[in-house]
Amino acid sequence: MSNLPAYKCDTVDIASQDPQAEQPWAELGLKSDEYQQIREILDRRPTSAELAMYSVMWSEHCSYKSSKVHLRQFGDKTTDEMKEKLLVGIGENAGVVDIGDGWAVTFKIESHNHPSYIEPHQGAATGIGGIVRDIMSMGARPLAVMDPLRFGALDHPDTARVLPGIVSGVGTYGNSLGLPNIGGEINFDSCYQGNPLVNALCVGSMRTEDIHLANATGVGNLIVLFGSKTGGDGIGGVSVLASETFDSTGPAKRPAVQVGDPFAEKVLIECCLDLYAADVVAGIQDLGGAGLSCATSELASNGDGGMQIHLDRVPLRDPSLSPEEILMSESQERMMAVVEPGKLEAFMEIAAKWDVEASVLGEVTDGENLEVFWGDDLLVQVPPRSVAHDGPVYQRPLERPAYLDDLQADGTAHLNRPRTGDDLARTVLDLIASPNMCDASWVTDQYDRYVRGNTAQAMPDDAGVVRVDEETGRGVALSTDCNPRFTKLDPYAGSQLALAEAYRNVAVAGAAPLAVSDCLNFGSPEDPGVMWQFSEAVTALADGCAVLGIPVTGGNVSFYNQTGDIAIHPTPVVAVLGVLDDVAKRNRSGWAHAQDAIYLLGETRDELDGSAWAEVAHSHLGGLPPTVDLAAEQTLASAILAATDQGLITSAHDLSDGGLAAGLAESVLRHGVGASVDLSPVASRDGVDAFVALLSESTARAIASISASDAEAFEAVLSDKGQAFARIGTTGGDHLKVEGQFTLAIEDLRSAHTGVIESAMSH
């Protein structure tokens, strides 16, 4: 091809003839033994393009080389019974579960932490874009997004820099795609200073027969790249190679960050759905990290033959890109399809209808290798599995951190507790005005929660609920949770508490928990203490899921979340998905009517270590987190689901951070309906005082409101399920009154609860 830019391409021939050429493997982040391993796989030195591919695909981010040995437990501990509802498990772009009536749902949570610190708006935006493409690549229509966000202290100046940008990035991108944002978390802790966590979840649905997979099968089938043009995005590390292959002046500057184009993604979504409906796609893969390298090697590994592609056929935004850079570019809003030759014309017509550029890069071959050409030059000839799946696996050293004994010994028993009703009232107001418990509408009002008209419930309710089938009302509920203070104190217990909370939130909304996705945010895997935390967390989640009978369907690991030597608290964010046969039956989480009976479900123990109270009142973190009791969580879930099914519940709210006090205050504030509560049944049964009853964070608890006329039937359901309960009060009035302790006007609760984030951001 004479019109190609004149690169001195490092071809397979050259590599074979010049085996001793110096290569910048170390600059590309490869270890010496990894480089040797590549030479052994190829039986020669890699070409510069191959070196680029291996270096990125074998990176921690793409290969999971430090986490793999631990993540295996998610598969190993999944029983056959758990697998029954699992249509596609770990390893594909996203897991798929059967929610009944022929519907399949796919969901996944991922991180985009580091890019969001560098350029908050674009980093967060492209995070949403990436997870949405994962869901699309399963053949699904994306239904909704959620975004758990974690920042440094609310009053730290850098939080005011990153928070508005991250929120506007999530909002702008998600809103422009027409995907309702139905929940997530906003959490502040100084451990995230300099390392905010931006996790993003997407859920999509399809008919079970429409599931698509990322595999390139069928010799002669065509490989089509479609979507945005390819630019020099995300290839910073690889430019060391580009500079060596350029003839003259060297490459143009490469972008430090990527800019997302939500409009291009929205069009790509509709285009993909049209392509699926027309049945012209045999295999599909999104382009994310490592770009074409990842997409082609994944597709080819999962297929039954080899693959040939031609990089000179990639539509470019920046014509100065070298072949290596094209191969590695992470430009957004692109997809790759495997198309039977007879269906290409129909494929191209649909792409043209949506003004989506599509280009045939090559085809599936009967060989064994992935071969990449630039004109007539063969730049890559590798076994695709060696790139995509057979990377190095590390058993990194683990060590329980030495500080943990002291930390766990430093409980809250010695901290001053409120003594009088007035003290308690002040404590409650301080709690609901604290950054982690205050009203988050400054953030959530920037997200469209209504688009597509299927949102039955969103923030600030416990779980997001979205309808899947417009005829029957069948739908799903989702919640993401993690209390990083608990995981810091005890990563095993803390991780199970995250799982338990998400499980509880979904059940409290009236949905039967079905499956789990997790986003594991940790510090450096090279730190044995961090690696121990990671190992504990994965083991805990795999064990916990086995007890609860809900499989992990996929997720993501994000390491190196630290500033200098200081790692973030272990933050395994757990997303639980549940199913409702009709979303109309869901339980809302605030009181809508006066004169309803209020019930506290579950038992309360003196468990204040790591609590919101310890943080807000004493800036204290130490001791042991609350007891994990997964059997009690299952009992609670089955009791609530049975009562929901009978239509007995007018509202239900999970108790977690801030305990009963927070649950009561939030239920009052939701619709401005007050309550009168008497704690004495709880105090006498559980042997706790008013403070513990209100502020303890004992798990497996919820509050529910019931029409007075249904109280008897409700109690019968609870007794039948063996669920502990206490009738603690009645809704109504303009106050939250706790008998014998305090009375707080709703307006005082509201003025404490609102405006906190807004005023911090306006400074």
Partner 1 sequence: MGTVVVDVMPKQEILDPQGQAVVGALRRLNLSQFTDVRQGKRFTLEVAGDVTDEVLAAAREAAETLLSNPVIEDVVSVRDADAAAAGQEDAS
Partner 2 sequence: MKVGVVTFPGSLDDHDAARAIELAGGEAVHLWHGTADLQGVDAVVLPGGFSYGDYLRAGAIARFAPVMDALIPAAKGGLPVLGICNGFQVLCESHLLPGALVRNDHQKFICRDQKLRIERINTAWTGDFAQDEEITIVLKNGEGGYMADERTLDLLEAEGRVVARYLGGNPNGSRREIAGISNEAGNVVGLMPHPEHCVEPGFGPGLEGLPFFTSVLRQVVSA
Name the minimum Å distance from CB 169 to partner 1. Answer: 12
CB of 128 to partner 1, least distance (A): 15
Give the neighbor-by-neighbor strand order of the sheet with 512-521.
455-457, 464-467, 475-481, 571-580, 512-521, 552-558
Q: Which does 129 bind (CB under 5 to 8 A by kind): partner 2, partner 1, none?
A: none
Stretch binding partner 1 (CB under 8 A), from 37-45, 224-232, 284-292, 455-463: 224-232
Out of 21, 26, 118, 716, which residue is the one contacting partner 1 (CB under 8 A)?
Answer: 118
* 172 near partner 1, judged by CB under 8 A: no
Distance CA 35, CA 167 (A): 41
- Judged by CB, which is closer to partner 2: 11, or 455? 455
What's the min distance (Å) between Cβ of 228 and partner 2?
12
With contacts defined by CB under 8 A, name the span among 230-238, 343-351, 520-528, 751-759 that binds partner 1.
230-238
Among 164, 255, 392, 473, binds partner 1 (CB under 8 A): 255
Query: Please, which residue, 252 or 352, has the CB nearer to partner 1?
Result: 252
Enumerate residues 256-275 that contact partner 1 by CB under 8 A: 256-264
Cβ-based nearer residue to partner 2, 171 or 418: 171
Distances (CA, A) of 641 to 3, 501, 637: 67, 16, 6
Q: Does 127 bind partner 1 (CB under 8 A)?
A: no
Which of 298, 318, 334, 293 is CA-nearest to residue 130? 334
Q: Choosing among partner 1, partner 2, none, which partner's interface includes residue 257 (Cβ < 5 to 8 Å by kind)? A: partner 1
* Cβ(503)–Cβ(550) below 8 Å: yes
| Mask for 130-149, x = binds partner 1 (CB under 8 A) | --------------------
Interface stretch with partner 1, choices 36-44, 55-63, 100-108, 231-239 (CB under 8 A):
231-239
Burial profile 270-279: b = 16 or more Cβ within 10 angstroms, e = fewer: bbbbbbbeee
Q: Are strands 512-521 and 596-601 parallel, antiparallel or unpaired?
A: unpaired
- Residue 716 binds: one of partner 1, partner 2, none (C-beta under 5 to 8 A by kind): none
CB 57 within 8 A of CB 370: no
- Categorise residue 235: left if φ over 0, alpha if ψ from -120 to 50, beta otherwise: alpha
> Using CB under 8 A, which of the segments 252-260, 395-403, 482-490, 595-603 binds partner 1?
252-260
CB nearer to partner 2: pick between 181 and 187: 181
Q: Where are the alpha helices (DSSP H) in 392-445?
A: 403-409, 421-432, 441-444
- On whether the CB atoms of residues 726 and 688 are closer than 8 A, the answer is no
Q: Select 42 or 267, whichever has its Cβ closest to partner 1.
A: 267
Q: Binding segment for partner 1 among 63-71, 254-262, 481-489, 719-727 (CB under 8 A)?
A: 254-262
* Secondary structure element (H or E) that encloses residue 160, with its range: helix 157-177
**Which range, of 16-24, 114-122, 386-394, 465-473, touches partner 1 by CB under 8 A?**
114-122
Residues 708 and 617: beta-carbon distance below 8 Å:
no
Q: 516: closest CA among 558, 565, 554? A: 554
Interface residue with partner 1, options 127, 231, 384, 625 (CB under 8 A): 231
Catalytic residue among 70, 112, 156, 212: 112
Question: Residue 414 corresponds to which tokens in the numbers above?
Answer: 């010695």
DSSP codes of every residue in 607-642? --TT-HHHHHHH----S-PPPP-HHHHHHHHHHHHH
String of DSSP letters for 677-745? E--HHHHHHHT--HHHHHH---SS-EEEEEEGGGHHHHHHHHHHHT--EEEEEEE-SSEEEETTTEEEE
The site partner of 583 among partner 2, partner 1, none (C-beta below 5 to 8 Å per kind) is: partner 2
Q: How far is the CB of 457 from partner 2 (least distance, A)?
A: 9
Residue 256: contacted member of partner 2, partner 1, none (CB under 5 to 8 Å, by partner type): partner 1
Catalytic residue flag (residue 61)? yes
Instruction: Indicate which single residue of 67, 93, 239, 331 sits in contact with partner 1 (rule: CB under 8 A).
Output: 331
Name the one range near partner 1 by CB under 8 A: 75-83, 226-234, 386-394, 428-436.
Answer: 226-234
Name the binder of 610 from partner 2, partner 1, none, CB < 5-8 A by kind: none
Helix (H) and strand (E) counts in the chain: 29, 28
Q: Which of partner 2, partner 1, none does residue 456 bind (CB under 5 to 8 Å by kind)?
A: partner 2
Compute the least distance from the CB of residue 126 to partner 2, in Å.
Answer: 15
- Locate 17 and state its tokens: 């003839």
Peptide bond into 460 cis (omega under 30): yes
Write out the two tokens for 52: 């680029």
The one segment of 67-75, 115-123, 489-497, 733-741 that binds partner 1 by CB under 8 A: 115-123
Length of the chain: 763
Per DSSP, the residues of 639-670 read HHHHHHHTT-EEEEEE--TTHHHHHHHHHHHH
Residues 427-456 that bind partner 1 (CB under 8 A): none
Q: Which two tokens stand for residue 69?
A: 């040995």
Closer to partner 2 by CB, 267 or 537: give it. 267
Q: Which of 374, 388, 391, 383 is nearest to 307 (CA)?
A: 383
The residue from 50, 60, 119, 189 that contacts partner 1 (CB under 8 A) is: 119
Q: Which is nearer to partner 2, 170 or 617 (CB)?
A: 170
Which of 21, 26, 252, 631 touches partner 1 by CB under 8 A?
A: 252
What one-letter code names the amino acid at 264?
A
The reply to whether 325 sits near partner 1 by the rule CB under 8 A is no
As measured in angstroms, the least distance from the Cβ of 132 to partner 2 is: 14
> Measured at the alpha carbon of residue 394, what is the angle toward residues 392 and 398, in degrees to the nearest 5?
170
Applying the rule CB under 8 A, the residues between 459 and 518 that interact with partner 1 are none
Contact 116, 162 (CB under 8 A): yes
What sign for the dihedral angle of Cα 434, 437, 439, 440?
positive
Where is 324: in which H helix or E strand? helix 323-328
Partner in contact with 534, chosen from partner 2, partner 1, none, beta carbon below 5 to 8 Å by kind? none
Residues 62-81 that bind partner 1 (CB under 8 A): none
Q: Which residues pair with 651 in a beta bridge?
A: 705
Q: Which does 246 bind (CB under 5 to 8 A by kind): partner 1, partner 2, none?
A: none
- Regarding 313 and contact with partner 1 (CB under 8 A), the answer is no
Taking the complex as a whole, the smallest distance from the CB of residue 260 to partner 1 amounts, in Å, to 8
317 binds, among partner 2, partner 1, none (CB under 5 to 8 A by kind): partner 1
Region from 250-258, 462-470, 651-659, 704-712 binding partner 1, contact rule CB under 8 A: 250-258
Phi, psi angles (nearest 5°) of residue 521 = -100, 120
> Do the beta carbons of residue 579 and residue 100 sit within 8 Å?
yes
**Does the footprint of partner 1 cover residue 175 (CB under 8 A)?**
no
Of 188, 757, 148, 189, the closest CA to residue 498 belongs to 148
To the nearest 10°, report the CA torsion of 579, 580, 583, 584. Answer: -160
Pull the structure tokens for residue 131: 């997870």
Choose among partner 1, partner 2, none what residue 377 binds, the Cβ cut-off being 5 to 8 Å by kind.
Answer: none
Structure tokens at 33: 């033994």
Question: Taking the complex as a whole, how short is the minimal distance between the CB of residue 322 and partner 1, in angstroms?
Answer: 14
Is 763 designated active site?
Answer: no
Spatial contact of 61 and 31, defined as CB atoms under 8 Å apart: no
Determine how many CB atoms are found less than 10 A away from the CB of residue 43.
Answer: 8
| Distance, CA of 99 to CA of 131 (rounded, Å) | 21
Write out the residues near partner 2 by the rule CB under 8 A. 168, 171-172, 175-178, 261-264, 266-267, 353-355, 441, 445-456, 467, 470, 583-584
Complex with partner 1: residue 267 or 507, whichever CB lies closer = 267
399, exposed or middle or buried, with CB in 10 Å at 0-12, 13-18, 19+? exposed
Q: Name residues contacting partner 1, limited to 349-388 (CB under 8 A).
A: 355
Where do contacts with partner 1 occur on this chain (CB under 8 A)? Answer: 118-119, 122, 228, 231-233, 252-264, 317-318, 331-332, 355
Active-site positions read 61, 112
